Amino acid sequence: MNLIFRRCSIGILSGAAASTALTATPHHALWNLILGVGIGAAYSAGLQPTRGAYVDNLLAGASLGVPLWGLVSVIAIPLLSGQMPEWSAEQMRQNFPALVGWVVCGAFLGVTNQALQESAEYFFGPEPAPKVSEVSVSKRIVILGAGFAGMRTAECLEEKLRGTFPSASPWSMKRMRCSLLPCLLK
C-alpha cells in the first residue's frame, strides 16, 4: 500500500470523526466535515506514526486546535461573510465555544489518528521503511574562524587526515581576506 495513500486515508477517517466536535462552532455542518477531513489528512500525512503515543498525539492535536480556531473562526469565517475579523475582546469571548470545539476536535483527531494508525499496523502490517540511499557519508570538520590560526589548523588537519580518513574534510566557517595571506607569506 502506498505510504501517502495509507496515511491520508487514515487522516480522512480520523478527521471526519473528529469534526463532530465542531458542532459548537457556527452551524455549517458540511463545511465542518470537509474542513475536518482536510485537516485530518494533512495531520496524518505530516506525522510519522509512533507506537503508543496517545498522549503525545492528544496534546499535539489539541494545541493544533488553537491556531485553527484563530484562522477559521476568528478570521476566515467573518471575512468570507463580508465582515471584519472578530479579534476584539468581546468578539473573542463570543467565539469561546468555538475555541473549545476546535481544541476538542484537535484532541479527538490526535487520539483517533493514533488508534487508526495502530489498527492499520495490526491489520495491514507496519509501514514500509524508507529506502536509504547508499551514498558515502563524508565527515566534515568545521573550524570556526578563518584567521591565521584557523587556516593553519585546516592545513594541518587536511595533511593528517588525508591517509587515515579520506572522507573527512576540514571546512572553515568564515572566509576572510586573511585566508589568502598564508600562501603569500610562504
180 and 103 both lie in a single domain: no
Residue 50 binned pLDDT confidence (cut-offs 50, 70, 90): confident
Q: Tell me the pTM.
A: 0.65
158 and 108 both lie in a single domain: no
101 and 145 both lie in a single domain: no
Element (H, E) at 161: helix 148-164
Q: Work out how many domains the chain is built from and give that number.
A: 2
Residue 160 binned pLDDT confidence (cut-offs 50, 70, 90): confident
26 and 95 both lie in a single domain: yes
Residue range(s) defining the domain that contains residue 151? 140-185
What span, in angstroms and rounded, lies between the C-alpha atoms of 14 and 41? 8
15 and 46 both lie in a single domain: yes
171: β partners: 142
10 and 92 both lie in a single domain: yes
> Residue 130 has which C-alpha cell?
524508507
Tell me what the mean pLDDT of segment 42-59 comes to.
87
pLDDT given for residue 66 in this prediction: 92
Within a domain: residue 117?
A: yes
